A = this chain, B = another copy of it.
Amino acid sequence: MKKITIADVAAHANVSKSTVSQFLNKRYDYMGEETKKRIETAVTELGYRPNIIARSLKQKSTKTIGVIVANILHVFSTQVIRAIEDFCHESNFHVIVCNADDDPVKEKRYIEMLRAKQVDGIIAFPTGENMELYQGLLDERYPFVFMDRLVPGIHMDAVLLDNKRASELAVDQFVKAGYKKIGMISPLIDMPVTPRLERIQGYKTALAKYNLSFQPEYLASGAFTDMQMIIQQMLSLSDPPEALLALNDRVLFEILQYAKDHHVNIPNDLAIIGIDDVSFASFYYPTLTTISQPAFKMGKKAAQLLFKQINQEDQGTAAQVYRFPPQLIDRESC
């Protein structure tokens, strides 16, 4: 079955390719009724389907953007992607999803491949390790938006949670409930990923606000494979924390697993707040106090920023970092 092209339609309708093209692009300013109809029937009779690749080559726009996440298995990434996809759908754009797995080499490959594919722009959770690449993008004014993470020295549009505020909300809540010995558990800080850094910073600043001195033993980080041991160590201190802030959902899982396995009563033995609202927060025993991120709003904002760049509506405006407010969801674990 031979592919039907615009030439076939033109022949079948007895007009030129140009006219068919005008018709398809709804530029019928001066087109005769008769001509329109002939083309229309030719299109349906032949089952013509335009080849957008050919159009893209000419128009230099593929109506496609790339989204590079660290890992699509993370709920936050999923929500961000969904928001971006919905936004793109309205403008008839498509999105190519890539998982960089926090690997700078993969990230670089993906960015280059996406550009070779002529995507109109990219939204990425940057690894932060491809400085020259990011700077090159910026110099070229290639449409690009950072999501969730910042890269020091690279002044790119970016959408982030107000991470410090997230930790502050948690500490506020702990203090309000009467806790003074407040610990925090973080994933491994193998690279300087913004949310981790800022949430830890926010935790320290919030403690200071209440004149609570920061205890280094109350802050631990490590790989998930070691996390049970890390939690064990912290809770075995001679003077252990009475409240624990989980830096993200994955850490929260580990803490809950530990509590379950070692019969730690929440919140009596240990109060808990997790950053990231989790699916089971409202029916866990006890229900879980969490700090949620407006993932959909953030994804939408990133898409809007990218489209502004693509449509060159950002001329003259400097790159900006947009901070979104976290929200405390007050339940029973604290």
Contact = CB atoms under 8 A, between A and B. Distances in A.
Given A279-B253, A280-B253, A283-B257, A98 B116 contact: no
Contacts of A71: 82
Interface string A22-52: 0000000000000000000000000001111
A118 B51 contact: yes
Contact of A96 (B64, B112, B280): B64
A97 B96 CA distance: 6
A285 interface: yes
Nearest to A140: B1
A56 interface: yes
Contact of A280 (B95, B112, B280): B280
A282 B284 CA distance: 12
Given A52-B118, A53-B53, A97 B81 contact: yes
A50 to B, nearest CB: 6
A49 to B, nearest CB: 6
A82 B72 contact: yes
Nearest to A279: B253
Given A96-B95, A96-B96, A53 B64 contact: no
A73 interface: yes
A73 B86 CA distance: 12
B50 A53 contact: no
A285 B285 CA distance: 7
Contacts of A283: 253, 256-257, 259-261
A85 B113 contact: no
A290 interface: no
Interface string A63-92: 010000001110000110110011000001
A209 interface: no
A54 interface: yes
Contacts of A112: 49
A181 interface: no
Contact of A94 (B54, B78, B82, B117): B117
B94 A96 contact: yes
A99 interface: yes
Contacts of A98: 85, 94
A102 to B, nearest CB: 14
B73 A82 contact: yes
A115 interface: yes
Contact of A52 (B79, B94, B116, B284): B116
Contacts of A194: none
20 contacts: A49-B112, A52-B118, A53-B53, A53-B62, A53-B118, A64-B96, A71-B82, A81-B97, A82-B99, A85-B97, A85-B98, A94-B113, A96-B97, A253-B279, A253-B283, A256-B283, A279-B279, A279-B280, A280-B284, A284-B284
Given A53-B118, A85-B98, A97-B97, 10 more contacts: A50-B116, A72-B78, A73-B82, A85-B99, A94-B96, A94-B98, A94-B113, A96-B96, A261-B283, A284-B285
